[in-house]
Amino acid sequence: MNNGTASYYTNKRKLTKQIHVGKVAVGGGAPVTVQTMVKAPPNDVEMSIKQIKTAEQLGCDIIRIAIPDEGACTALREIKKQVNLPVVADIHFNHRLAIMAIEAGADGIRINPGNIGTPDQVREIVECARSHKIPIRIGVNSGSLEKEIINKFGEATADALVESALRYTKLIEDMGYQELKISVKSPSVPVTVAAYRKLAQLTNYPLHLGVTEAGTLLTGTVRSTTALALLLAEGIGDTIRVSLTADPAMEVKVGVEILRSLGLRQKGPCVISCPACGRVKVDVETIATKVEDNLERFYSRNPQAPHLLVAIMGCNVNGPGEAKWADVAVAGGNKKFALYIRGKYVRTIEEAEVVDAIMEVINSWQ
């Protein structure tokens, strides 16, 4: 993508109020951030930390953790001691868990207007958030709207989502608190897009974008990318989560690539690979995926390193040609690859050694 396109989407962004989740700025012209959610059991501290650190290496900016019980609050306190990413506590049904999570060190909380409780209970949350100086996300979902909203609109329309969000925004504003961000999510792409478009016209708070219950890796990626790309291209959105029935790492990867494709995120690994066909006698898919993962971690550790174009080609039809203009390229043969650097053939590598060989070249690049 050329710089003109990148600056075009950056300049179109609506300037919203800025809040901070831990040290991460959201809104107010700050870069669009990527979020995911821990999917380990709430009390499994070790697995939660592992997922968070992996997500961070892949470009995640903010992590969210479900808090279904008091044990999860205890785990949250331990998790916070060992991770760098700011942690948002996801709260439903029990307002006291929100207070406990804040006191356990949460950098932000998400509450659901459809199930969080009475105005007096919301006030208790707000006062605790105020005393700890953390933001609140008003997270509206189509599947858990308030009964009176459903009775008014008949179903979870875009207008219904927006009315729920604005009702709770005013409730908390009237309590004298404005450290807020808002989301209005639906499994329907048209409803989600319409809701965020309307909300962006009616409020200046930062918006958290997402399609809820988007689906498995393929369908969820397509639905999320469709909705988020439309909105981001219109300048709407300050932070995103791609919700997938998949590992959190995949949510981060998709989210980061959406932002990169619009020029809203610094470019990272640039790996091109052939789609493979009957001529191919090497595992292009596995190798290309491993190279991308390794490069993502490499650039996370070495942000100033040159961003090289790497080509993973399965046979000699396009492989040598792609190698001419790629910085590093491999072209497959029969369980082997020819390695090219700046278009020049260097040596032949066994398939099992090709990922390490590519990373060796990247690490020693001058």
Classify residue 270 by burial, with Cβ atoms within 10 Å: 0-12, 13-18, 19+.
middle
Mean pLDDT of the chain: 92
pLDDT at 8 over 70: no
Query: In the chain, where are the structural domains located?
Result: 3-261, 270-363
Share of the chain above pLDDT 90, in %: 76
| 4: pLDDT strictly greater than 50 | no
Q: With bands split at pLDDT 50, 70 and 90, how would you rate the model's confidence at 35?
A: very high
pLDDT digits (tens, 9 = 90+) for 327-351: 999 998 888 999 999 989 999 999 9
Contacts of 337-341 with CB under 8 Å at 24 or more apart are 337/282
Higher pLDDT, 7 or 160: 160
Q: Is the pLDDT of residue 263 over 90?
A: no
Q: Give Cβ neighbours of residue 332 (< 8 Å, ≥ 6 apart).
A: 280, 281, 282, 284, 313, 314, 315, 319, 351
Q: Which pTM was predicted?
A: 0.87
Name the band, by pLDDT with cuts 50, 70 and 90, for residue 235: very high
Residues whose CB is less than 8 angstroms from the CB of residue 170 and which lie 6 or more positions away in sequence, other chains included: none
Provide the 10 A C-beta neighbour count for residue 324: 12
Domain range 270-363, CATH class:
alpha beta
DSSP secondary structure string for all residues of 121-188:
HHHHHHHHHHHHT--EEEEEEGGG--HHHHHHHSS--HHHHHHHHHHHHHHHHTTT---EEEEEE-S-
Residue 2 has pLDDT above 50, yes or no: no
The rounded distance, in Å, linking the Cα atoms of 173 and 119 is 12
Q: Is the pLDDT of residue 297 over 90?
A: no
Q: How many CB atoms lie under 10 A from the CB of residue 225?
A: 19
Q: Are 270 and 307 in contact (CB under 8 A)?
A: yes
Q: In this structure, which topology does domain 3-261 adopt according to CATH?
A: TIM Barrel (3.20.20)
pLDDT in tens, 102-157: 999 999 999 998 889 899 999 999 999 999 999 999 999 998 899 999 999 999 99
